[in-house]
A and B are shown apart, each in its own frame.
Chain A
Amino acid sequence: MKVKQDHRTVGVVESRDLFIDDPEALILESGRKFGPINIRYETYGELNDTKTNAILIVHAFSGDAHAAGYHSGEDSKPGWWDNMIGPGKAFDTERYFIISSNVLGGCMGTTGPNSIDPASGKAYALDFPVITIQDMVKTQKLLVDHLGIDCLLAVAGGSMGGMQVLEWSIAFPNQVKTAIVIASTGRLSAQGIAFNAVGRNAIMSDPNWQGGNYYGSAEIPRQGLSIARMIGHITYLSDESMRMKFGRKLQTREDYNFDFSDQFQVESYLEYQGDRFVERFDANSYIYLSKAIDYYDFSSRYGSIDDAISRTRCSFLVISYSSDWLFPTYQSKELVYAMMRRGKDVSYTELDSPYGHDAFLLETGRQEIIVSSFLKSAMEGRR
């Protein structure tokens, strides 16, 4: 129904699969050869004749290939970045060809720990190799090559997506014209790693996790994964946004009953988010992807931040949000300063927002204007 009401939607879209039936499809950062792999992806808009209008969207931790539009006419929820992708939107599907894929190690169609290991005929579980942000990017490169695109007009993403954008610019400097890094960093803070560690601990200490071998069993680590997601959601919000949204209000009563049945609104929100997450996300993917975020340090392979940035050849747009304490502004600035020191073309803005880390999904007004004008200047060859 919603499809018909919204003029700026890409409408009903379909996911596709690129299956690479090769046991050595990828050489991982760890040195291990890995394959076969499946890449779940979606595209919106049309690739132009010169193949110069392609933009790769890379998703954050819990995202998927379904970035825009609806999977059917009855679908109630659009893709995760629908407010940014569509006709006339920031990623304008009337101008650009948009590619979005699920990351390696994910659980939404691209090969991950819940995929079947051809060697054993069972799900990989913890036999799935430890993967990194670089491995995700290498996987996306296979897809981009498959689509016949030599150079991407832009790679764009927020949070864990921003890390992949940065990695694209460093690993494939000649294939990226512009890079849009939103609410992200080149290396997660100790505080961020700490929260991820608690999330993984919650999952691994759930008896139903069974050392990761819960696939096909009657019980899955529902409780552990739900708690991990609750912690995640706390880090995505801010003190101010929680105060505005929930305050100290109780969910079902006006006055305290002084027993444990009392629930504050914020509690029931977190519980709801946790429960919903369990329905769509795989606990082992949580462990692998959060570890990939923790491991990522874009400078580690090149000596220093500046040496890593020196490799890049694209124009950058870096956006941070004032109340984001998971990927704080100072981390974005660290990147931008290195780009300036190395004489790279970079624009940076810190948008004022109360919504914490989640702002990159919510603050679409100003973000849309900035991204669309940046892309427009890139398309016109002014970047």
Chain B
Amino acid sequence: MSRHEDPTRFSYEEISRLVSAGSTVLDLGCGDGELLLILEEERSCRGRGVDKQEDMVLACISKGLSVFQGDLDEGLKDYPSQSYDYVILNQTLQMLQDPRFILEEMIRVGRKIIVNFPNFGHWQARFQLMLGGRMPQNKQLPIPWYKTPNIHFCTRKDFIDLCGDLNLRIVDEICLNSAGRRLAVGKNAMATQVCMLLESKKA
């Protein structure tokens, strides 16, 4: 199942609604470019993707997208400051060597940033760890600890703390529960997925 068909993940439509029409977008870990294509075709954005995998880059070029094959752990050093309206990091943050560094780089390059990640503080994960004494493994986190590409898990609360450290203001937030429905309350324990639109408090 590809990620946009998974009801517990954010649909590209949901993410694209956080982006103003006609803006410039840098999509980090862009995969096959579906999100960028939606942003370009439906929201008249101008976008560029970055992905590590050759087949993903190929898929993007086939869609007429502008894409760079590169490793996010190397950062965004050759992107000028404030050169994009939005920098998006979709389902990748917890896979990076240095998530704090990439967030700093994103907010340097983009005027606003969009980040989403799985919430490790979901009640099911809490119970599995507390009662079972083992690392959580469930529908949202199906891969055992020794195989998972997710090397930097965090909870919603952890992430909000980091945003404070980085002087980031939460402009908008979408939290989904395990059925893929939007949550208004109880986000810390009920959200399986968190997506935030952030900007620098300095701006």
Residues on A lying within 8 angstroms of B by beta carbon are 315, 317, 336-337, 340-341, 343, 345-352, 366, 369-370, 373-374, 376-377, 380, 382-383
Contact = CB atoms under 8 A, between A and B. Distances in A.
Contacts of A373: 58, 61-64
Given A317-B61, A369-B62, A370-B61, A346 B68 contact: yes
Contact of B66 (A337, A346, A366, A380): A346
The 5 closest A-B pairs by CB, nearest first: A377-B64, A337-B78, A373-B62, A382-B64, A349-B69
Nearest to A376: B64
A350 B67 CA distance: 12
B58 A348 contact: no
A346 B70 CA distance: 13
A369 B78 contact: no
B65 to A, nearest CB: 8
Given A337-B78, A341-B78, A348-B67, 10 more contacts: A341-B80, A345-B66, A347-B61, A349-B54, A349-B58, A349-B61, A352-B54, A366-B54, A373-B61, A377-B63
Interface in B157-178: none
A348 B68 contact: yes
A349 B69 CA distance: 5
B57 interface: yes
Contact of B69 (A345, A350, A383): A350
A330 to B, nearest CB: 12
16 contacts: A343-B83, A345-B66, A347-B57, A347-B61, A347-B65, A348-B68, A349-B58, A349-B67, A369-B58, A373-B58, A373-B61, A373-B62, A374-B61, A377-B61, A380-B64, A383-B64
B60 A370 contact: no
Contacts of A349: 54, 57-58, 61, 67, 69
A366 B80 CA distance: 31
A317 B68 CA distance: 10
Contacts of B68: 336, 340, 346-348
- Most chain-B Cβ atoms within 10 A of its Cβ — which of A337, A347, A369, A383? A347
A183 to B, nearest CB: 15
A317 B66 CA distance: 9
The A interface, classified by DSSP as helix, strand, loop or mixed, is mixed
A349 B66 CA distance: 11
Contacts of B54: 349-352, 366
Interface in B58-99: 58, 60-70, 78-80, 83
Nearest to A334: B78
A341 B63 CA distance: 23
A374 B62 CA distance: 7
A366 to B, nearest CB: 7
B63 to A, nearest CB: 8
Nearest to A346: B66
A366 B58 contact: yes
A315 B80 CA distance: 19
Interface string B128-172: 000000000000000000000000000000000000000000000
Which has the most chain B C-beta neighbours within 10 Å: A315, A340, A348? A340
Nearest to B78: A337
Contacts of A346: 66, 68
A271 B106 CA distance: 54
A342 B78 CA distance: 10
Contact of A370 (B48, B58, B78): B58
A376 B64 CA distance: 8
Contacts of A366: 54, 58
B62 to A, nearest CB: 4
Contacts of B69: 348-350
A101 to B, nearest CB: 27
A366 B58 CA distance: 8
Nearest to B26: A340
A383 B46 CA distance: 11
Contacts of B79: 340-341
Nearest to B69: A349
Contacts of A382: 64
A309 to B, nearest CB: 12
B67 A347 contact: yes
Contacts of A369: 58, 62
A296 B87 CA distance: 36
Contacts of B83: 343
A209 to B, nearest CB: 44
Contacts of B66: 315, 345-347
A335 to B, nearest CB: 11
Contacts of A383: 64
Nearest to A317: B61
B53 to A, nearest CB: 10
Nearest to B60: A347
